[in-house]
Each structure stands twice: as structure tokens, then as C-alpha cells.
Amino acid sequence: MEESNPTIEVKNLTVQYGDNLVLDDISFEVFPGEIFVILGESGCGKTTILKHMTGLRKPEAGSILIDGEDIITADGADHDRILKKFGVLFQSGALLGSMTLGDNVALPLRESTGLPREVIDEMVRMKLSIVGLENKEHLLPSELSGGMRKRGGLARAIALDPQILFFDEPSAGLDPVTQVGLDELILGLNAHLGTTMVVVTHELQSIFKIAQRVIMLDTESGKIIAEGVPAELRESSDNPRVRAFFRRELIKQ
């Protein structure tokens, strides 16, 4: 995988909120078609990294390259073009409550393409079918279960066939069976579409199921304290905080 050029390069990212240094000189790469997971304890900066990678915030220092272009310094048409390379599944699904599921999925297609309505409607049905929500386009978000809302948000995220998908705590609030189903869907999309995926989560079951490579952030230092394959980190990391996380153990004093 590392023989190819990275799809995403995070270089020397530093983020500070007031006197609180959240991320201190963070650097890592994500490669084409990889499922890359960012993990760590609550408050370590997982979602903060995601907000910067998707262009929602600007850091104090550093760069984030998407296919070699810095999303932080890009503006205007260049920034919009980079944004179209990825989709985002937010923690809540973030469906608009006043719109049907079908209209939610159609929204990016209507805003970003000049396709006729009948073509958009067919694409919406196709995207909903991919995530297992056939014939549900007429329902409002309030009529969907939590798992269905996550799948609906994912259908909207893939509406424009992005090359990168970002997931913010995709398993949050789901029961174990629904969580497994969502993990299988993520794996299926990655296998069949070759989509590069960046996932923020602390759910160990999902991490061991879907992650090809991970980084672990440290709350105290704001740095990366582990990088690699989850199973290998669990068994052989020389950092007691890393071993404790993957084994669900208390750190021995």
C-alpha cells in the first residue's frame, strides 16, 4: 500500500483552543483504498482532526494535502473542487428533518450536477439500495431507526461517488447487531468501490473488524503514540497506554 502515493497527507498539524494544545505537530498519511482509523480516549482530538481534514476548521500550523493539494490554503473554486472529492457521515447521520430520505440523498446531486430530475431520482434509488434502504425514499428521518438514519446519511455521503469517505463515530448509539451490520456495509463499500476511508471511533469491536491501519492519539501530549495494525499493537506495543486501550485494561501504577 505504501508503494503508491498517499491520498491524504497530514503534515505537522498543530491545533490549539485557547491555552489548550489539542494536537501537537501531528503527521500521518492515508493511502488509496485504505480503511484508516483514528482512535484514542475521549478528548484526545479525534474529531478535531476530522474537522480539519474536511476543511471545517483551520489549524494554528500544518498542512493537509488531498491528492497533493492543501485544503487549508485552497480557496474559491479550488477549495470547492477538493471538497467534492469526499463525503462525510456525521455521528448523528445529520439528515434534514423536514425533507424525506430521498430528498436528503438527492440534495448534493441537485446542488452539484445539472442532471434531469428523473436521472437524479434513479441515482437516489440506487444509492439507497446500496445501503440497504430500498423503497424507503418517501420516509422522513423521524420515521427511521437510528441505524437506518446512519445508512441514510451514508447514502447521501456517497451520492456524488466520492473517492474518500470520512466517518465520525459511525457506531455511536447503535445496538451491537446494528453496529455489526454497519461495519459490514463499510467493508463492502470499501471492497466493491475501492473508496479510501478515514474513520474516527473508539469502539474496539469495530476497530478490529474494519481497520487496516490505525493511529492512536494521546490526550496528555497531543501526539500520536501508536501507529499500525490493531492486533499487532494489542499484542506487541511497548506503550502501556496503548496495550491498556486495546485490551480494555486499567493501567497498572
Taking 80 as the threshold, does the pLDDT of residue 93 lie above it?
Answer: no
Q: Which residue ranges form the domains of the chain, and what is each CATH number?
A: 1-85+163-253 (3.40.50.300), 96-161 (no CATH)
Q: How confident is the model at residue 2 (pLDDT cuts 50, 70, 90)?
A: low
Output the pLDDT for position 92: 67
Length of the chain: 253
In this structure, the number of other CB atoms found within 10 A of the CB of residue 111 comes to: 8
Taking 80 as the threshold, does the pLDDT of residue 119 lie above it?
Answer: yes
Taking 80 as the threshold, does the pLDDT of residue 1 lie above it?
Answer: no
Q: How confident is the model at residue 37 (pLDDT cuts 50, 70, 90)?
A: very high
Output the pLDDT for position 230: 92
Matching residue, cell 474536511: 54
> 101: phi > 0 → left, psi -120 to 50 → alpha, else beta; which?
alpha
pLDDT digits (tens, 9 = 90+) for 190-237: 998 899 999 998 888 899 999 999 999 998 888 999 999 999 999 888
Taking 80 as the threshold, does the pLDDT of residue 249 lie above it?
Answer: no
Q: Quote the cell numbers at residue 98.
A: 423536514
In this structure, the number of other CB atoms found within 10 A of the CB of residue 2 comes to: 9
Output the pLDDT for position 18: 84
Residue 72 near residue 59, CB atoms below 8 Å:
yes
Backbone angles phi, psi at 65, to 5 degrees: -100, 130
Backbone angles phi, psi at 45, to 5 degrees: 105, 15
Residue 168 near residue 176, CB atoms below 8 Å:
no
Matching residue, cell 497530514: 10
Evaluated on CA atoms 231, 232, 236, 242, the torsion sign reads negative
Of 17-21, 33-37, 127-131, the one with minimum mean pLDDT is 17-21
pLDDT digits (tens, 9 = 90+) for 148-168: 999 999 999 999 999 999 999
Percent of the chain clearing pLDDT 70 (strictly above): 96
Taking 70 as the threshold, does the pLDDT of residue 250 lie above it?
Answer: no
pTM of the entire structure?
A: 0.91
Q: How far apart are CA 141 and CA 84, in angstroms?
A: 25
Q: How confident is the model at residue 252 (pLDDT cuts 50, 70, 90)?
A: low
Taking 60 as the threshold, does the pLDDT of residue 247 lie above it?
Answer: yes
